[in-house]
Amino acid sequence: MGSFRAEQGVAAPAFQRLLGLLSDGLIWVKLSLCRNSRLFPDYPDLRDFHDALVGANPKHLLWGSDWPHVRMGTLAPDVGHLLDLFLAWTGDRALHKAILVDNPATLFGFEHRLEHPHA
């Protein structure tokens, strides 16, 4: 639960420690940053955090919407919009596939297929 306070910025010691652990491959981080910001719906204050996490070790990142967004009330995000932000902020198809498909398969030890199983 590597929660952080956006107002402290990416230089905050706690976030830097999280980045160090991620960089060393000691932890996995789920990119689900909407709970760390009140700047709904585009979370501009979290972009630097996202970029720092991706730069630290993209092979140990996962993406998650954090649905069902309990206790968020009117700040509950639209999952499609969160995914759009992730795709825009990450900006690279190979990186998208790694974070959305390959990394979870590695972490959880399951095989994935590029084809639809019923195709």
Q: Average pLDDT, stretch 81-96?
A: 94
Cβ atoms of 62 and 99 within 8 Å: the answer is: yes
Q: How far apart are CA 6 and CA 68, in angstroms?
A: 22
The band of 9, judged by pLDDT with boundaries at 50, 70 and 90, is: very high
Nearest to 42 by CA among 82, 102, 3: 82
Residue 97 lies in a domain: yes
Please check whether residue 117 lies inside any domain of the structure: no
- The distance of Cα 83 from the centroid of its chain, to the nearest Å, equals 10
Q: For position 114, what pLDDT does the model report?
A: 56
Domain span at residue 91 reads: 6-108
Q: What is the pLDDT of residue 30?
A: 93
Q: How high does pLDDT run on average in the chain? A: 88
pTM score over 0.85: yes
Domain CATH number, residue 103: 3.20.20.140
Count of structural domains, the chain: 1
pLDDT band at 59 (very low <50, low <70, confident <90, very high): very high
The full DSSP string for 8-28 is: G-TTSHHHHHHHHHHHTTS--
Question: Is residue 113 situated within a structural domain?
Answer: no
What 8-state DSSP symbol labels residue 63? E
